[in-house]
A and B are shown apart, each in its own frame.
Chain A
Amino acid sequence: MKLRAITLKDVRRFTDPVRIDGIADGVNVLCAPNEFGKSTVFDALRALFFVPHSSRGKEIAQLRPHAGGAPEVTVEIETPEGIFHVSKRWFSKPEARVSRAGVLIAQADMAEAWIGQLLGGGDGGPSGLLWVRQGLTSLADGSNKEQQAALDARRDLLSSVTGEVEAMTGGRRMDAALARCREELAAYTTATGKPRAGGSWAEAVQQVDALAADRDAFAKRVDTLQSALTERTKFKRELAEIEAPDAIADRQARLAAASALHKEALAHADKVAAAVRALESATKTAERAQRDLATLSTARKDQSDALQKDKDATAKLKEAIAARAEAEQAHKDAISTHETAEARLKRAEELLGQVQARAAALAANERRTELQDRITKAGVARQAVETATAEASVGPDIAGIDRLRGLTAALATARALRDSTATRVTMRYTPGHEGSVRDGDSLLEHDKAHPVHTDTVLHVDGLGALTIHPGEGPEGLADVTRAERDLAKALSGFGYSAIEEALHAHHKRQEALGRLTGVQAELAALAPKGIEDLQRQLAALPMAMSEDQVDLPEADEAEAEWQAAKRQAGEFAATREAVRERRDTARTKGAEATVRQEAAAERLEMASAALRRLASQDEAELAVQTKQAETMREQAEVELKDIRDTAPDIAATAATLKRVQSVADAARNRIDALRPAIAALTERISGNAGEAVEEQLQEADEKLELARERLARVEREVKVLQRLQGVLDGARSEARDRYFEPIAAELRPLMHLLWPDAELNWADDSLLPQSLTRNGQVESVDVLSGGTQEQIAFLVRLAFARLLAKGGRHAPVILDDALVYTDDDRIERMFDALHRQAGDLQIIVLSCRQRAFRELGGKALQIIGGAR
C-alpha cells in the first residue's frame, strides 16, 4: 500500500477542506512551522486506518473542530490491485467507504474489514511499528495498547520470516529446563562456580578434608609406632653384640697389649734421653778444650796489640782535654763581651725611647692648645644655634604669613565691595569750619566720601546731630563680617590681634632663620663630629713633658748611639756563636778520645786476664786434652745412634692405646645409652598398642574412601549440571541470534552509517534492542543519550519497514518529528539512511525543523486549501 493523496475536512483547525497530493514513492517531506497542522494530518491518517467510523471515543472527539462538526478523512492509496479511495466520517452521519475509479467497493463494516485486511489485521498492525507520532521517539513509547500492537507487529513480522520465537528459542520449556538446571546447580555452587557454603558439594569437600586429616593423623601415629618397633629391635641387637662375653674379652686383651707396648716404648725413650745427655756433655767438654787452646793463642797476640793501642789512645785523650779547656775559656770570654754589648744596646734603646717620647709630648702640647680653643669657640657657636633656633620657632612661618596676607587682602576686597555700594557722605567745609563734623571721635575729612554702612549720627558742631539712615545698607556686609572673622581667627591662632604684629613677628623669625644658618655652618666647621668628639680627642693626647726630659740629648745623637750599639751587639753575638760551636766540637772530640782510650784499656785488660787464667796451662797439654774430648764425643754419638735406631714409635703406640681405650669407653657409653632408650621405646610401644592405632587407621581409610566416592559423585553432578546449563544457554543464544538475524541484517548497514562495528542485542520478550555493543563495550539502551536512543529507534523502524516490504507487505513509514534530539552532523547521516531504505518504500516525513530538513531532499509536500 502506498499513499498518494490525503484530504481532510472538519478536522481540528481545518474546517474547510485541505489536501496533500502528489505523494510519491521514496522520501516525501512536509516541512512546516509549528501549529501548521502536520500532527493533525498524522492523527487523521491514524483515525482513518485504525478507528472505526462508528467510534465517538476520545481519539475522534479530539479531531473535531472547536465549533463542532463531523471530521472527515479521505485518502487515495495505491495497491497492486489498483488505485482506491478510502474515506471515513465520524459523529454526524458516520460512514466508511472504499471505492475504486468512482465505483463503491465497500462501505460501513465491510469497508472497515477491507481496511483491516489491507493493514494485515490486528489493532495496530505494522503501522504501530512504522508510524511515529510527534513526541514518541522511543520504540517503547505510546499507550499500552499501542505498545502491545507494536510488539504483535514485530512478532508477526519476525515469525513470518524466521518462525515462531517460542519454537526457535524453546520458549517456556527452555525457561523451565534452564531454571531447574540453575536451581539444582545453585544448591551446589556459587555464581562463580565455587562450592556453595552449606551446600552438599562444600559439605562433601569438608568431609573429605576432615577425614583426610584424621587419616593422616592416624597414619602418623602408626608410622611412629612402626619406627619405635624397628628402632627397639635395632637397639636390642646392638646391645647384645656389645655385651657378648667374647666381645668383652677381646676389648680387654686389646687394651692390655696396647698398654704394654706403650710402656716399653716409654722406657726406650728414657734410654735415648740419657744418651742424648751424655753426647751433650762430651760435646761441651770438647768445645771447652778447643776454646781454651784458641784463647791462649789469641790472648797472647791481643795483649801486644792492645798495649800499643792503649798508649796511642791515652796520648790523643790528653790532646783532646787540652783543646777542650782552651775552647771553654774562649767561649766564656765571648759570652762576657757579648753581654757587655747587649747592655750598651739596651741603654741606647731606652735613651732613644725617651727622646721620641719627648718629641711626642711637644707635638701633643700644640694639639691640646688648638683643641681647647676649638672647643671654646664651638661652645659659643652651639649657644648661638640654640638661641637662633628658639627665635626661628616664634611667629608665623612663610605659609602662615602668606595665609594672613591673603585673608587681609580678602578683607580689604570685601570692604571695598561693601563701600562701593554703601551710602556715602561727602563734607565740603566752608572755610573756617573745617573739622566741625564728626562721626563719633573721627572727623569727616574735607571733600572725601565717607561711607555710611549703618544708622550713623554725625555731630555737627554748633548745629546738632545729623542722623543718616542708609536704608537696607550696602551689599557685602556679611562678606566683610565673615572676612573679618576669618582674619581674626587666623591671627588669634598665631597669638596676635593685628596683622602688623604678625608681620613684625614674621620678620623677626626670618632674621633668626638667617642667623641660624650662619652659626650652624660655623659650628660644623669647628666641630664636624660634635664638641664631644673634640673633647675625646683632647683627653686622648699624651701627658705634658716632664722636667727630666729636658736634659736628654738630641734625637739624631740618640739614634746614632743606638745604631752603633746595635751593630756591635750583632757582631759580638756572631762571635759568641762561632766560639760556642768550636767549644762543642772540642767537647765531642774529648768524649770520643775518652771512649777510645777506655776501649783500648778494656781490651788490654781482657787480654791480660786471659793470659792470667791460662798462664798455668801448657799449650801442648791443652792440645792432648782437646783430642781426648773429641774422641769421647764421637763415641757418645755412635751410642745415641744405635739406641735411636732400635727405638719403637712412641706416637704410634700412644695412638693405638688411645684408640683401644676409646673403643672400650664407647662400648660402655653405648650400653649406658641403649638400656634407657630401649626402656622408653618399650613404654611408647605398649601405649600405642593399647589404643589399637592400626585398626583406627584402617577405619579412617575406609571412611575417607567412602567420602571421596561421595565427593566424586557430587563433583560429577556439578559437571553434568554445568555442562547442561552451558549447552542450553548456548543453544538458546544461537537460536535467538538466528531469530533476529533478518532484522539484524537489515539494520546492520544502517547502524554502520552512524557507528562502524556497532551491533544491537535483542530482548526475547519485547523483541526490541536491549543493548548496543560499540568498541567491545556493551551499553544498555536505557542509559544511552536521548539522541542515540532516538536514532536507534528511527533506524529500527526503517529496518522493519524494509523487512515488511521484502515480505510483500508495503506500508508507508510516517514520521512526525521523529528526530528532535539529533545533532546536525548525525541528522545528515540519518537522511542518508532514509534515502538508502527508501528504494522500494514510501516514507513520509513531517517536521517543523525547516532549516535542518532542507538537506533531506526528497519530494516536498504542501497542504493546499483550507481556512485556518
Chain B
Amino acid sequence: LPLHEDEDTAKALDALLPTADRRNTLLRIKAGGWTSLAGHAALRAAAQLHAPEFALLDLIANGLGTLHNITDLDAIDQAGAMRLAAERLMAEANDDALAESDRDIAAAALNRLYAYTTEGSR
C-alpha cells in the first residue's frame, strides 16, 4: 500500500481491499511511503475495522514513514551543510513571496529531511 503525504490512508486501504469472498481471504498488507501521525492512526483504525471481515488481515506499517510538524531545526543539525539545507527549506516554506505550491513543497522537503535525520535508515 504505497501512501503519500496528505493522502487519506483509511480510504486508500478501503480501495485496496478485495470485495468478494472476504471470509475466505488471508491478507497481509505492507504499507510504505509517508504519512502523518494521524495518518498512521487512521490506517491502523481502518485495518482493525475491516479485520473481522477477513479470515486474516495483517497490516505491516514499519515501512511507512512518519511526517512531523517541524519547528526546531536543531533536531536536524546544529551547524554545517545539513543545517544550511534545513534553514533554506524553512525560509522557503515561510516565504510569502513564493507561490503556495512552492512553499508547500519546501515544507514537505524539510519534513522529509527531519524524518531522515531522526529515523535513520529504515
Q: A167 near B80 (CB under 8 angstroms)?
A: yes
List B residues 74-120 near A (Cβ within 8 Å). Answer: 77, 79-82, 84-85, 88-89, 104-106, 108-109, 112-113, 116-117, 120
Q: Which residues of A contact B49 (CB under 8 A)?
A: none
B63 to chain A, nearest CB (A): 12
Distance in angstroms between the alpha carbons of A170 and B78 in the assembled complex: 10
B44 at the interface (CB under 8 A from A): no
Q: Which residues of A contact B89 (CB under 8 A)?
A: 723-724, 727
Distance in angstroms between the alpha carbons of A734 and B85 in the assembled complex: 10
Q: Which of B81, B85, B108 has the most CB of A within 10 A?
A: B81
List A residues 728-778 near B (Cβ within 8 Å). Answer: 728, 730-732, 734-735
B21 at the interface (CB under 8 A from A): no
Q: A735 near B80 (CB under 8 angstroms)?
A: yes
Q: Which residue of A lies closest to B109 (CB)?
A: A724
Known: A713-B7, A716-B105. A721 touches B81 (CB 8 A): no
Q: A716 near B5 (CB under 8 angstroms)?
A: yes
Q: Which residues of A contact B120 (CB under 8 A)?
A: 176
A172 to chain B, nearest CB (A): 11
Distance in angstroms between the alpha carbons of A721 and B79 in the assembled complex: 22
Q: B4 near A170 (CB under 8 angstroms)?
A: no
Q: Which residues of B contact A826 (CB under 8 A)?
A: none
Q: Which residues of B contact A724 (CB under 8 A)?
A: 85, 89, 109, 112-113
Secondary structure of the A contact surface, majority rule: helix
Q: A727 near B121 (CB under 8 angstroms)?
A: no
Q: B4 near A713 (CB under 8 angstroms)?
A: yes
Q: A170 near B77 (CB under 8 angstroms)?
A: yes
- Indicate which residue in B2, B109, B121 contacts A176 across the interface (CB closer than 8 Å): B121
Q: Which of B82, B105, B121 has the most CB of A within 10 A?
A: B82
- Per-residue contact bits, chain B 33-52, to A (CB 8 Å; 1 contact, 0 not): 11000000000000000000
Q: Which residue of A lies closest to B122 (CB)?
A: A180
A488 at the interface (CB under 8 A from B): no
Q: A169 near B81 (CB under 8 angstroms)?
A: yes
B6 at the interface (CB under 8 A from A): yes
Q: B117 near A723 (CB under 8 angstroms)?
A: no
A252 to chain B, nearest CB (A): 68
Q: B82 near A706 (CB under 8 angstroms)?
A: no
- Indicate which residue in B80, B108, B121 contacts A180 across the interface (CB closer than 8 Å): B121
B15 at the interface (CB under 8 A from A): yes
A592 to chain B, nearest CB (A): 116
Distance in angstroms between the alpha carbons of A177 and B113 in the assembled complex: 7
- Indicate which residue in B77, B88, B112 contacts A720 across the interface (CB closer than 8 Å): B112
Distance in angstroms between the alpha carbons of A95 and B6 in the assembled complex: 75
A714 at the interface (CB under 8 A from B): yes
- Indicate which residue in B80, B106, B116 contacts A723 across the interface (CB closer than 8 Å): B106
Q: Which residues of B contact A174 (CB under 8 A)?
A: 80-82
Interface residues on chain B, size class: 20 to 34
- Per-residue contact bits, chain A 160-181, to B (CB 8 Å; 1 contact, 0 not): 0000001111110110110011
> How many chain-A residues does the 8 Å CB contact rule pick out?
30
Q: Which residue of B lies closest to A724 (CB)?
A: B109
Number of A-B contacts (CB under 8 A): 84
Q: A731 near B117 (CB under 8 angstroms)?
A: no
- Per-residue contact bits, chain B 16-58, to A (CB 8 Å; 1 contact, 0 not): 0000000000000000011000000000000000000000000
Q: B105 near A180 (CB under 8 angstroms)?
A: no
Q: Which residues of B contact A732 (CB under 8 A)?
A: 81, 85
A717 at the interface (CB under 8 A from B): yes
A148 at the interface (CB under 8 A from B): no
Q: Which residues of A contact B112 (CB under 8 A)?
A: 181, 720-721, 724
A200 at the interface (CB under 8 A from B): yes
Q: A177 near B82 (CB under 8 angstroms)?
A: yes
- Indicate which residue in B15, B82, B88, B105 contacts A719 across the interface (CB closer than 8 Å): B105
Distance in angstroms between the alpha carbons of A177 and B122 in the assembled complex: 12
Q: A731 near B88 (CB under 8 angstroms)?
A: yes
Q: Which residues of B contact A730 (CB under 8 A)?
A: 85, 88
Q: B79 near A731 (CB under 8 angstroms)?
A: no
Q: A176 near B84 (CB under 8 angstroms)?
A: no
Distance in angstroms between the alpha carbons of A783 and B60 in the assembled complex: 51
Q: Which residues of B contact A181 (CB under 8 A)?
A: 112, 116
Distance in angstroms between the alpha carbons of A174 and B7 in the assembled complex: 28
B83 to chain A, nearest CB (A): 8
Q: A180 near B116 (CB under 8 angstroms)?
A: yes
Distance in angstroms between the alpha carbons of A731 and B73 in the assembled complex: 15
Q: Which residue of A lies closest to B110 (CB)?
A: A724
Q: Which residues of A contact B6 (CB under 8 A)?
A: 713
Distance in angstroms between the alpha carbons of A719 and B120 in the assembled complex: 22
Q: Which residues of B contact A720 (CB under 8 A)?
A: 5, 105, 108-109, 112
Q: A717 near B5 (CB under 8 angstroms)?
A: yes
Q: Which residue of A lies closest to B116 (CB)?
A: A177
- Per-residue contact bits, chain A 465-508, to B (CB 8 Å; 1 contact, 0 not): 00000000000000000000000000000000000000000000
Q: Which residues of B contact A727 (CB under 8 A)?
A: 85, 88-89, 109
- Per-residue contact bits, chain A 680-721, to B (CB 8 Å; 1 contact, 0 not): 000000000000000000000000001000000110110111
Beyond A177-B82, A717-B4, A721-B112, 17 additional contacts (C-beta under 8 Å) are: A167-B80, A168-B80, A170-B77, A170-B82, A174-B80, A174-B81, A716-B5, A716-B108, A717-B5, A720-B5, A723-B89, A723-B105, A723-B109, A728-B81, A728-B113, A734-B84, A735-B84
Closest A-B pairs by Cβ, 9 of them: A713-B4, A731-B85, A724-B109, A735-B81, A170-B81, A731-B84, A731-B81, A720-B108, A170-B82
